[in-house]
Amino acid sequence: MEYRSGYGFPAEILADRPRMERLFDNKWFFVGMRGDIPNRRDYLKFSLFDEEYFLVHGQDGEIHGYVNRCAHQSARLLNEDVGRCAARIICPNHQWAFDANNGALIHAPHMCENFAKSEDGQTHRLDQIAIREIGTMLFACLGENPNHNEIDRMADLIAPYTAPFASAAHGYKRAYHHREIIDANWLLVMINNRECCHCAQNHKRLLALFDPSSFNGTTTPEYQALIEAAKTRWDAQGLAWKEMPFDPDENFRIARYPLAPGFQSITFDGRLASQKLIGPFENGKPDSSTLSFWLNPNCWVHFTSDHIATNWVLPLSENRCELYTSWIVHADAEEHEDYDPDHMKEVWLVTNEEDVGLCKSMSEGASSRYYKPGPFSDSEQFCTQFCDWYMRATEL
């Protein structure tokens, strides 16, 4: 069955693994925040289909990305999902040691004395992947010829929103992270994330944080008053707020939304998730809003006055994917003193779990012999945008 714009994907597209692999070879995708690996030698793993990769905070202060396989005899280099490696990346198999800054072989026990520095030794480097940092957000591209113009253009558009967070004197750290393997098709998880028609029924607690007009395309005098007051406040603080929509040539949407009156952060009770405010709010008051990013192909990230909640999803097979969520806070925030992880993480753990149930259900349905792609409604325009974009981005 052929893909038809405005409809969900045919089963053949959902199951087309080479097409998904093409996407991640050609497009930049979100893999975390600098705050996920704030200190030198910190690392964070991610998987895509059968391959494992890791980001590492190098001794040079830059974030680098590698395939998690030794250049000697392909043993796995790092076993934990997150952690801190030695000053060099040392393979647990025969202890070959690699430079975290560039993947070069530094030391090769059991080989002749000068092997690591020899011409042959220098050909045995870690396989590196391209990483770019934009305003503390980290992006990877797996292909050999990543499109730097594309990420430069994205940086130009994103930077005004993230700059006040990136330029803050304080650093960031991860307060908590959660990984989940989901038995669902990766494309269906992303499509679910791009629409809100399911929200009223399925995310009742999350919706209490927002005025309904934030999402349902309608407006009321109360919402008008809320948004006008917010824009005045944001302008006075120099915070970028203009909505940047998805369009056929872009792969992102950014919006700053006011939270419901009385809410200071994305928490179910509206209280701050962390007492140490971040970025532009560090020395002032919290703002009742969220700066939210939905970036194709794989993430949604929400900046509030006190923390950053990140979510990325990557495919592991045609019917399985991995969701990684992290909560990033001020580097000096103290657990239990400034923040309670259980309080901070509740909104996205609950909301994501609600979505996971729906995504599994749709994935099972898409495997049925009765499956037919259904149409998106006008208010599901971001799903149409995502699907059209995906088809264009993966054309041969």
Check residue 94 for interaction with ligand FES (CB under 6 A).
yes
Q: Does 91 bind ligand FES (CB under 6 A)?
A: yes
Residue 70 in the binding site for ligand FES (CB under 6 A): yes
**Residue 214 and residue 224: Cα distance in Å, rounded?**
10
Which is closer to ligand FES, CB of 71 or CB of 187? 71
What's the closest the beta carbon of residue 282 comes to Fe ion, in angstroms? 31
Q: Encoding tokens for residue 187?
A: 């494309």
Only one of the segments 34-42, 86-94, 158-166, 192-200 lies at the binding site for ligand FES (rule: CB under 6 A); that segment is 86-94
> Which residue type does 294 have?
W
User: What are the strands of the beta sheet with 42-48, ordered from one edge?
Assistant: 29-33, 137-141, 128-134, 63-67, 51-57, 42-48, 82-84
Using CB under 6 A as the binding rule, whether residue 40 contacts ligand FES is answered as: no
What span, in angstroms and rounded, lies between the C-alpha atoms of 32 and 138?
5
Closest CA to 392 of 23, 17, 18: 23
* Nearest distance in Å: CB 189, Fe ion: 10
> Judging by beta carbons within 10 Å of its beta carbon (0-12, 13-18, 19+), is residue 39 exposed, middle or buried?
exposed
Shortest Cβ 106–ligand FES spacing (Å) = 12
Kind and range of the H or E element at 352?
helix 341-366
Sign of CA dihedral 273, 270, 163, 312: positive
Q: Per rule CB under 6 A, is residue 343 in the interface with ligand FES?
A: no
Record the tokens describing residue 74, joined without a space: 């392909």
Which one of residues 5, 39, 59, 73 is an interface residue with ligand FES (CB under 6 A)? 73
- Is residue 322 within the footprint of Fe ion (CB under 5 A)? no
Question: How near is the Cβ of 131 to ligand FES at its closest, in Å?
Answer: 23
**What is the rounded distance in angstroms from the CA atom of residue 225 to the CA atom of residue 220?**
9
Query: Tokens 């703002």 sit at which residue?
Result: 287
Residue 199: how many CB atoms within 10 A of its CB?
18
C-beta closer to ligand FES: residue 79 or 379: 79
Question: Judged by CB, which is closer to Fe ion: 355, or 380?
Answer: 355
96 binds ligand FES (CB under 6 A): yes
Q: Which stretch binds ligand FES (CB under 6 A): 87-95, 209-217, 299-307, 328-336?
A: 87-95
Closest CA to 106 of 87, 93, 78: 87
| 72 vs 177, beta carbon nearer ligand FES | 72
**From the CB of 81, what's the least distance to ligand FES, in Å?**
20
> Does residue 380 touch Fe ion according to CB under 5 A?
no
160: helix, coil or strand?
Answer: helix
Span from 92-100, 122-130, 170-178, 384-392 in contact with ligand FES (CB under 6 A): 92-100
φ and ψ at residue 392, rounded to 5 degrees: -65, -40
Q: Which of 83-91, 173-181, 351-359, 382-390 is the region at the interface with Fe ion (rule: CB under 5 A)?
A: 351-359
Q: How far is the CB of 56 from ligand FES (least distance, A)?
A: 16
In the set 5, 39, 62, 75, which binds ligand FES (CB under 6 A)? 75
**C-beta of 342: minimal distance to Fe ion in Å?**
22
Residue 56 interacts with which of ligand FES, Fe ion, none, CB < 5 to 8 Å by class: none
Binding residue (CB under 6 A) for ligand FES from 41, 72, 343, 360: 72
Structure token pair of residue 279: 């970025």
Asked whether position 93 contacts ligand FES by CB under 6 A, the answer is: yes
Distance set, CA 246 to CA 77, 189, 255, 297, 388 (Å): 38, 18, 11, 12, 11
- Residue 355 binds Fe ion (CB under 5 A): yes
**Phi, psi for 213 (deg, rounded to 5):** -65, -15
Q: Phi and psi at residue 356, in whole multiples of 5°? A: -60, -40
Question: Nearest to residue 302, comparing CAs of 292, 311, 312, 313?
Answer: 292
Q: Which is nearer to ligand FES, 52 or 364 (CB)?
A: 52
Out of Fe ion, ligand FES, none, what residue 355 binds, judged by CB under 5 to 8 A for its kind, is Fe ion
Query: Which backbone phi and psi does 212 adopt, to 5 degrees?
Result: -55, -30
Q: Which is nearer to ligand FES, 70 or 131 (by Cβ)?
A: 70
Question: Which residues lie near ligand FES (CB under 6 A)?
Answer: 70, 72-73, 75, 91, 93-94, 96
Question: Which residues lie near Fe ion (CB under 5 A)?
Answer: 355
